[in-house]
C-alpha cells in the first residue's frame, strides 16, 4: 500500500529539517555531520554538493566519508581514485569499503586481491561482502563457497538464499544420478532456503518452491507461489500456473496465463496454447502458436506442427517439421519421422532415425527398432531385434516385454520368459496374460476329474490370468477358461465363455460349445455351432456333423461333411472320417 500524501509531505519536511541541522553542524566544523550530510547528498544524486563535504570529512579521518567518497568518484568514472579512498577506508576498518574494493579488483581480473578484501569484508559481518566472496569462490569451484553463501543467506540476502537452495538441490540430484537415494535432509534444507528467498520477493525462488510443492501434491500452496512469481514477471511461473489451472479444469484462466507467458517468449506456454486450440479444432490458431513456440527456440513447436500436419494428411509438411525437430535432437520427432518413412516404404531411411531416437532414450523408438530388425531373416537381425526389445522392456514398454517373453520361451528359458510375461501382463497386455497363463498351466499337476454339475474348486493363478485375457477379448483364453470351468463342473460358466469366443469367431469355441450343448441334450443347437466351426476349418466339428446327419438318416449330407473332415484333418480325424465316408457311400449305393 502506498503512503498517503500528508505522510509523504511530512517525511519530506523531516528530511529537509535534518539536512538543515546537519548543514549547520558541518559549517560549525562537526566532522560526523560533514560525513552524514555528504552521504545524504550522495543518495539524492547531488554529487557536486556531496563531494566537498565528503572530502572535508575524509581529510579529518572519517572512514565512512572515505568509503562514500570512493562511491562518488566511482560513479563519476574515476575508478582508480575511488579504489584509493576505498583502500584507506578499508584499512581503517570499513567493511563496506573492503567490499567495494574487492569488487573493484574482481572487475579488473585481480582475483587474489579481490578475495583478500572480500574476505576482510565478510569476516567483519558485511552481508554483501559474504555474498560476493561466495560468488567468487563458487566461480573457482571452491568448496568453501557454500559456507559463505550460507552466511549471506542467514543474514537475509535473498539471492544467496536462492543460490544456496540451488546448490543443495544439485547436490541431491547428483546423488540420484550416481544411483544413490536422494538425501532427504538436503532436499528439505533446499526447500527451506527456497521458501526464505521467495518470502523475500525472489521470483525464481517462488517458482522453484511452487514446483516442489506441486510435485508433493500440495497444489493450492504451489499455485499461490506460482502466482506470486508470475506477477513478479517470471514467465516460467506463469506457464506452470497455466498447467496447474488446466489440470484443475479451468482452461480459460490457464489460457490467460499461457498467453501472458507466450507473449514474453516462453515456448512451452506457446505449445500449450497450440495444443489447447488443436483440441478445440482451431487448427490455424494452433499452428500459429506452434510456430511461435518454434520461433522461441522450443523444438516441441516443430514436432507439434508435424503432428498437426500428419493428422490433416499433409504428409510432406509433416515430414518437413519432424525433420527440423529431429535434427535439433528431439527424440520423439526422430521416432515419428522414422515411422512416417516406414509407412511410405523407406525402411532404409527409417532405421537411422529409429536408432538416433532410441539412443537418445526414446522407449517407443527402441521397440520400433526391434520390430524393424525382427522383420528381417538373418540370425544377426533376430539377435539385434531382441537387444532392442530388451532395452525397451527394461524401460517399462509392455509390448517389448511381451516380445522378450516370447523369445525366451522359444529359447527354452522359461523362468526369464515368465518374468517378462508377468511385466507385460501387469502392464495390460492381453497376449502376455494368455501366454503367462499357458506357462503356469503347463506346470500344474493334473487336476482330479469332475463330473459336470459338481461343486467348483478354487481357481488357480493360471486360471486367473486366463480370465484376465479372456475378459479383454482374447479368444483362445476364452476357450481355455471355458475348458477349465467345464473341468471343475461349472457348466454355466463354461457355456458363457465358449459362446463369447464362438461369437467372436473362434472355431474351437464354437466346437466346444457344441460339445457342451450336445451333452446337455441340445443336439440341434450343437449342430448349428459345429457348422460354424466346420465352415471355419475345424475338422473335428465336420466329423461330428457327419455323425449327426448319419444318425438322422441324412446319408448324403453326412457323406459331404465326412469328405470335409477328411480334407481338414488332423490325421486321426481324417482316418475316422474316411471310414465313415466309405460306410455311408456303401450304404447309399446299396
In tens, the pLDDT along 210-263 reads 999 999 999 999 999 999 999 999 999 999 999 999 999 999 999 999 999 999
pLDDT of 4: 38
Count of all residues that appear for the chain in the document? 590
Q: In this predicted structure, what is the pLDDT of residue 3?
A: 37
* pLDDT value of position 452: 47
Contact 402, 421 (CB under 8 A): yes
Between 487 and 264, name the one with better pLDDT. 264
Q: How far is CA 294 from CA 12, 260, 289, 300, in A?
A: 52, 17, 9, 7
pLDDT of residue 480 exceeding 60 = yes
Check if the beta carbon of residue 250 is closer than 8 Å to that of residue 261. Answer: no
Of the listed ranges 114-118, 134-138, 303-307, 547-551, the least confidently predicted one is 547-551
Is pLDDT at 335 greater than 60 in this prediction? yes
Q: 438-478 pLDDT, tens per residue?
A: 999 998 776 555 444 444 456 788 999 999 999 999 999 99
Q: What distances in angstroms separate CA 532 from CA 88, 200, 493, 538, 565, one per listed residue?
A: 107, 78, 21, 9, 14
Question: Residues 6 or more apart from 46 whose CB is under 8 A from it?
Answer: none
C-beta of residue 424 within 8 angstroms of C-beta of residue 398: yes
If you average pLDDT over residues 299-326, what whole number do you get? 95
User: Could you tell me which residue, 535 or 177, shows the higher pLDDT?
Assistant: 535
Q: What is the pLDDT of residue 176?
A: 67
411 membership: H or E segment, kind and range = helix 398-411
The two counts, helices (H) then strands (E), for the chain are 34, 0
By percentage, how much of the chain surpasses pLDDT 70? Answer: 94
Reported as a single tens digit per residue, the pLDDT across 271-286 is 999 999 999 999 999 9
Higher per-residue pLDDT: 17 or 533: 533
pLDDT score for 467: 94
Q: How far is C-alpha 376 from the chain's CA centre?
A: 33
Indicate the pLDDT class of residue 146, thresholds 50, 70 and 90. very high
Distance CA 328, CA 308 (A): 19
CA–CA separation, 310 and 172 (whole Å): 42
- Predicted confidence at residue 131, as pLDDT, reads 97
Q: What is the pLDDT of residue 287?
A: 95
Least confident of 156-170, 172-186, 248-262, 335-349: 172-186
* Higher local confidence (pLDDT), 446 or 62: 62
What's the longest Cα–Cα distance across the chain? 152
Per residue in 373-416, pLDDT tens? 999 888 999 999 999 999 999 999 999 999 999 999 999 999 99
C-alpha cell at 299: 523444438
340-365 mean pLDDT:
94
Q: Of the candidates 40, 92, 91, 93, which has an alpha carbon nearest to the alpha carbon of residue 68? A: 40
Please, where are the H alpha helices in 489-537? 491-503, 507-519, 523-535
- Helix, strand and coil in the chain, % to nearest 5: 80, 0, 20
**pLDDT, position 108:** 94
Q: Give alpha helix (H) positions in 92-218.
A: 95-107, 111-123, 127-139, 145-154, 158-177, 184-199, 203-216
Residue 305 has pLDDT above 50, yes or no: yes
Examine the pLDDT at 174 and tell me if it is beyond 90.
no
For residue 12, what pLDDT is reported?
65
Closest CA to 302 of 270, 277, 280: 270
The pTM is what? Answer: 0.72
Amino acid at each position: 500500500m502506498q503512503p498517503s500524501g500528508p505522510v509523504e509531505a511530512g517525511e519530506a519536511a523531516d528530511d529537509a529539517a535534518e539536512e538543515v541541522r546537519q548543514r549547520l553542524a558541518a559549517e560549525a566544523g562537526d566532522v560526523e555531520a560533514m560525513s552524514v550530510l555528504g552521504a545524504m547528498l550522495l543518495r539524492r544524486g547531488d554529487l557536486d554538493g556531496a563531494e566537498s563535504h565528503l572530502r572535508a570529512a575524509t581529510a579529518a579521518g572519517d572512514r565512512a566519508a572515505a568509503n562514500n567518497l570512493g562511491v562518488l568518484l566511482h560513479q563519476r568514472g574515476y575508478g582508480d581514485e575511488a579504489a584509493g579512498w576505498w583502500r584507506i577506508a578499508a584499512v581503517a576498518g570499513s567493511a563496506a569499503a573492503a567490499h567495494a574494493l574487492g569488487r573493484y579488483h574482481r572487475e579488473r581480473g585481480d582475483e587474489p586481491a579481490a578475495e583478500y578484501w572480500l574476505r576482510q569484508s565478510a569476516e567483519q559481518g558485511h552481508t554483501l561482502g559474504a555474498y560476493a566472496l561466495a560468488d567468487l569462490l563458487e566461480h573457482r569451484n571452491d568448496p568453501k563457497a557454500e559456507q559463505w553463501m550460507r552466511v549471506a543467506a542467514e543474514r537475509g540476502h535473498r539471492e544467496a538464499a536462492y543460490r544456496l537452495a540451488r546448490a543443495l538441490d544439485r547436490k541431491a540430484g547428483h546423488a540420484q544420478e550416481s544411483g544413490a537415494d536422494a538425501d532427504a535432509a538436503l532436499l528439505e534444507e533446499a526447500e527451506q532456503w527456497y521458501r526464505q528467498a521467495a518470502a523475500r520477493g525472489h521470483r525464481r525462488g517462488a517458482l522453484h518452491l511452487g514446483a516442489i510443492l506441486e510435485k508433493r501434491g500440495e497444489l493450492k500452496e504451489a499455485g499461490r507461489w506460482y502466482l506470486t512469481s508470475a506477477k513478479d514477471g517470471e514467465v516460467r511461473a506463469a506457464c506452470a500456473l497455466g498447467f496447474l489451472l488446466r489440470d484443475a479444469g479451468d482452461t480459460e484462466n490457464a489460457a490467460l496465463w499461457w498467453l501472458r507467458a507466450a507473449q514474453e517468449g516462453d515456448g512451452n506456454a506457446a505449445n500449450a496454447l497450440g495444443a489447447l486450440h488443436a483440441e478445440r479444432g482451431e487448427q490455424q490458431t494452433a499452428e500459429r502458436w506452434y510456430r511461435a513456440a518454434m520461433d522461441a527456440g522450443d523444438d516441441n513447436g516443430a514436432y507439434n506442427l508435424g503432428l498437426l500436419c500428419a493428422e490433416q494428411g499433409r504428409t510432406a509438411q509433416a515430414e518437413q517439421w519432424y525433420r527440423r525437430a529431429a535434427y535439433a535432437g528431439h527424440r520423439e520427432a526422430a521416432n515419428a519421422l522414422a515411422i512416417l518413412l516406414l509407412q511410405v516404404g523407406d525402411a532404409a531411411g527409417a532405421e537411422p532415425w529409429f536408432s538416433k531416437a532410441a539412443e537418445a532414450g526414446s522407449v517407443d523408438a527402441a521397440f520400433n527398432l526391434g520390430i524393424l530388425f525382427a522383420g528381417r531373416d538373418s540370425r544377426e537381425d533376430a539377435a539385434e531385434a531382441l537387444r532392442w526389445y530388451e532395452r525397451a522392456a527394461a524401460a517399462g514398454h509392455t509390448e517389448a516385454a511381451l516380445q522378450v517373453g516370447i523369445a525366451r520361451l522359444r529359447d527354452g528359458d522359461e523362468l526369464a520368459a515368465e518374468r517378462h510375461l508377468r511385466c507385460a501382463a501387469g502392464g495390460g497386455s492381453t497376449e502376455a496374460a494368455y501366454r503367462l497363463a499357458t506357462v503356469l498351466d503347463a506346470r500344474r499337476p493334473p487336476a482330479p476329474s469332475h463330473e459336470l454339475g459338481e461343486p467348483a474348486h478354487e481357481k488357480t493363478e493360471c486360471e486367473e490370468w486366463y480370465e484376465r485375457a479372456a475378459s479383454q477379448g482374447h479368444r483362445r483364453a476364452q476357450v481355455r477358461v471355458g475348458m477349465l470351468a467345464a473341468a471343475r463342473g461349472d457348466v454355466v460358466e463354461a457355456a458363457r465363455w465358449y459362446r463369447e469366443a464362438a461369437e467372436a469367431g473362434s472355431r474351437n469355441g464354437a466346437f466346444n460349445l457344441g460339445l457342451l450343448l450336445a451333452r446337455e441334450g441340445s443336439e440341434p443347437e450343437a449342430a448349428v455351432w459345429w457348422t460354424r466351426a466346420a465352415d471355419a476349418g475345424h475338422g473335428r466339428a465336420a466329423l461330428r456333423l457327419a455323425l449327426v446327419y448319419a444318425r438322422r438318416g441324412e446319408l448324403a449330407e453326412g457323406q459331404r461333411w465326412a469328405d470335409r473332415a477328411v480334407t481338414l484333418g488332423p490325421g486321426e480325424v481324417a482316418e475316422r472320417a474316411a471310414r465313415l465316408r466309405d460306410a455311408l457311400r456303401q450304404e447309399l449305393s446299396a
